[in-house]
């Protein structure tokens, strides 16, 4: 009898021990070293690899950077890209290099267009010379000549150094002390040293090399080298933080540059941009927007996609699956409910746990970023781990690993985090005081209660209400406006109507 009891004790394992075997990675792609193991090659990803789309638009946390990382790391494994090389035109970490544009005199949209073309020409051109040398063939020699003539030759094709060179040239050309030519940088070309002008008491000559001409030279060189080049840009939402007056004209110019460069068959831009930023760039009219939309793909996550993404991460933990005795044939829902209770709140009219979670990671625009699900999961695991350290349980397949109370705590933490790092961070500065007015209020309002909260008439309040809807803070349902559960805990907003 004692021997049997001792054998049972040996077979017992704590919930804490089982949870310690579960690793699901990190929610931010830039910091997830195991992203490759979890990544799902969605239709969006395939359309980028196969060349059907060049612009990836998605909300924060939906996986734009993950797609960029996976393409840049694994592009050589796709036969369709055998003749293609990838070149990052930004720095993945640290302050975005494009913030430098906020520190120079503001340019017109046309001048920013020239700046972008000069940058891509210099970045890609110097990369070609770094790979092949300056005398590889006649087309490469011609490319080298233009880079030298324009002062854009960089022995180190690092994006930060190349961009700094471009900005330096533009700053210099905007500061003529005297000139026999009018203007400095046009939207057609980059002035170079050859008609007379005075730069800070130094006499030099100026002429113009047309930007489309030197981009054609780049394209010819790539064709002669039998290489197609993709130039990738991510982090555009961070590029001009603190420089609002620069953001829209600079990014509109970037998208116009994209359109101009579509006629080149050996060099292509690939842009990763947030959907709300894309709307800001194109609102008020944008010539040939239909051409851009034809090459744009939006990231969409359905509930089944999110569940599959989470379960793919769970399935990578062999020792965890062994501990919970999960079969290889187990469905995603079976895996999910091996961790969680059937319901967070008991009752015949209460939702199941998966539905409960999906309702709490969505914003007012029904956007459910994978980042929210992963962070909720990580928060719940941490909360449960702390609970097990205080009062440990023996693992049983009949009981959930992660209890309802841990999920509630996790959702509260997620809400507090998203209010700060998404809601307040993404809102324009003038919107934050309006958001704060909802703190400690009810979750459901109408025009009258919101106007009263703002101290405005209904007509005065409507423009701000529309902006809050676009931000995802308010959800319009009939004549009411509801605050999504994602943001309620973080602002101490309680269930119920304010009217």
pLDDT in tens, 236-258: 888 887 788 899 999 999 999 99
Across 97-111, 146-160, 165-179, 293-307, the highest mean pLDDT is recorded for 293-307
What do you get for the CA distance between the two ends of the chain, in Å? Answer: 67
What is the model's pLDDT at position 32?
A: 62
Tokens for 229, please give them.
């080049």
**Phi and psi of 228, rounded to 5°?**
-95, 145
Strand 202-210 versus strand 189-199 pairing type: antiparallel
Tokens for 316, please give them.
């990578």
CA distance 134 to 126: 10
**pLDDT-wise least confident of 202-216, 244-258, 336-350:** 202-216
CA distance 198 to 193: 11
Question: In the predicted model, is pLDDT for residue 174 greater than 90?
Answer: no
pLDDT in tens, 101-116: 988 888 888 889 989 9
Question: In the predicted model, is pLDDT for residue 196 greater than 80?
Answer: no
Q: How confident is the model at residue 204 (pLDDT cuts 50, 70, 90)?
A: very low
Q: How confident is the model at residue 128 (pLDDT cuts 50, 70, 90)?
A: very high
| Burial of 330 (C-beta count, 10 Å sphere; 0-12/13-18/19+) | middle
Contacts with 134 (C-beta within 8 Å, 6 or more apart), sequence order: 140, 141, 144
pLDDT in tens, 158-173: 899 999 988 888 777 6
What is the model's pLDDT at position 275?
A: 87
Chain centroid to CA 198: 44
Question: In the predicted model, is pLDDT for residue 420 greater than 70?
Answer: yes
Question: In the predicted model, is pLDDT for residue 206 greater than 50?
Answer: no
Question: In the predicted model, is pLDDT for residue 178 greater than 80?
Answer: no
Percentage of the chain surpassing pLDDT 70?
A: 88
Question: In the predicted model, is pLDDT for residue 346 greater than 90?
Answer: yes
pLDDT in tens, 468-477: 999 999 999 9
Question: In the predicted model, is pLDDT for residue 287 greater than 90?
Answer: no
- What is the average pLDDT score of the chain? 87
Question: In the predicted model, is pLDDT for residue 489 greater than 50?
Answer: yes
Question: In the predicted model, is pLDDT for residue 157 greater than 50?
Answer: yes
What is the model's pLDDT at position 189?
A: 55
Q: Which of 410, 402, 401 is nearest to 375 (CA)?
A: 410
What is the model's pLDDT at position 185?
A: 53
Q: Which of 55, 457, 80 is nearest to 257 (CA)?
A: 55
Question: In the predicted model, is pLDDT for residue 302 greater than 70?
Answer: yes
State the average pLDDT over residues 128-132: 94
What is the model's pLDDT at position 228?
A: 96
CA distance 432 to 450: 15
pLDDT in tens, 358-403: 999 999 999 999 999 999 999 999 999 999 999 999 999 899 999 9
CA distance 447 to 475: 13
- The larger pLDDT score, comparing residue 366 to residue 198, is at 366
Reduced to 3 states (helix: H, G, I; strand: E, B; else coil), residue 205 is strand
For helices 211-224 and 109-132, the axis angle rounded to 10 degrees is 30
- Helix H or strand E segment including 261: helix 244-261
Question: In the predicted model, is pLDDT for residue 425 greater than 50?
Answer: yes
Tokens for 235, please give them.
């982090």
**pLDDT-wise least confident of 4-13, 177-186, 402-411:** 177-186
**pLDDT-wise least confident of 166-180, 312-326, 354-368:** 166-180
Q: How confident is the model at residue 33 (pLDDT cuts 50, 70, 90)?
A: low
pLDDT in tens, 439-481: 999 999 999 999 999 999 999 999 999 999 999 999 999 999 9
CA distance 28 to 34: 11
Question: In the predicted model, is pLDDT for residue 486 greater than 60?
Answer: yes
């Amino acid at each position: 009898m004692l021997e049997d009891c001792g054998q049972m004790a040996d077979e017992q394992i704590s919930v804490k021990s089982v949870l310690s075997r579960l690793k699901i990675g990190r929610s931010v792609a830039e910091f997830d070293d195991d992203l490759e193991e979890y990544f799902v090659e969605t239709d969006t990803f395939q359309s980028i690899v196969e060349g059907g789309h060049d612009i990836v638009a998605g909300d924060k946390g939906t996986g734009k950077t993950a797609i960029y990382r996976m393409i840049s790391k694994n592009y050589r494994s796709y036969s369709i890209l055998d003749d293609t090389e990838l070149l990052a035109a930004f720095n993945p970490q640290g302050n975005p290099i494009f913030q430098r544009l906020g520190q120079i005199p503001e340019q017109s949209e046309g001048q920013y267009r020239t700046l972008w073309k000069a940058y891509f020409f210099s970045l890609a051109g110097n990369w070609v010379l770094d790979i092949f040398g300056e005398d590889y063939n006649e087309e490469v020699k011609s490319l080298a000549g233009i880079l030298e003539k324009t002062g854009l030759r960089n022995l180190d094709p690092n994006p930060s150094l190349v961009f700094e060179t471009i900005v330096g040239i533009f700053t210099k050309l905007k500061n003529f002390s005297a000139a026999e030519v009018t203007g400095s940088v046009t939207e057609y070309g980059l002035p170079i040293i050859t008609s007379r002008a005075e730069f800070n008491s130094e006499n030099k000559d100026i002429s113009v090399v047309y930007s489309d001409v030197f981009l054609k030279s780049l394209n010819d060189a790539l064709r002669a080298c039998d290489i197609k080049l993709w130039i990738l840009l991510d982090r555009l939402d961070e590029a001009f933080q603190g420089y609002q007056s620069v953001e829209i004209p600079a990014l509109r110019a970037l998208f116009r540059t994209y359109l101009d460069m579509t006629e080149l068959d050996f060099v292509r831009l690939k842009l990763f941009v947030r959907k709300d930023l894309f709307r800001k760039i194109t609102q008020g009219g944008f010539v040939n927007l239909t051409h851009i939309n034809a090459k744009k793909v939006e990231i969409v996550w359905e509930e089944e996609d999110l569940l599959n993404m989470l379960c793919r991460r769970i399935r990578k933990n062999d020792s965890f699956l062994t501990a919970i005795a999960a079969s290889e044939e187990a469905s995603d829902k079976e895996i999910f409910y091996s961790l969680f209770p059937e319901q967070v709140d008991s009752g015949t009219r209460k939702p199941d746990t998966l539905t409960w979670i999906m309702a709490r990671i969505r914003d007012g625009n029904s956007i459910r970023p994978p980042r929210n699900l992963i962070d909720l999961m990580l928060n719940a695991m941490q909360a449960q781990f702390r609970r097990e350290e205080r009062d440990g349980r023996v693992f049983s397949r009949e009981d959930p690993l992660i209890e309802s109370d841990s999920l509630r705590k996790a959702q509260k933490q997620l809400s507090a985090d998203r209010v700060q790092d998404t809601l307040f961070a993404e809102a324009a500065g003038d919107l934050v005081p309006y958001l704060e007015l909802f703190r400690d209020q009810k979750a459901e309002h109408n025009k009258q209660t919101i106007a009263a909260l703002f101290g405005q008439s209904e007509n005065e309040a409507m423009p701000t209400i529309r902006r809050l809807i676009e931000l995802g803070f308010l959800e319009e349902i009939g004549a009411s406006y509801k605050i999504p559960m994602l943001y309620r805990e973080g602002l101490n907003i309680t269930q119920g109507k304010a009217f």
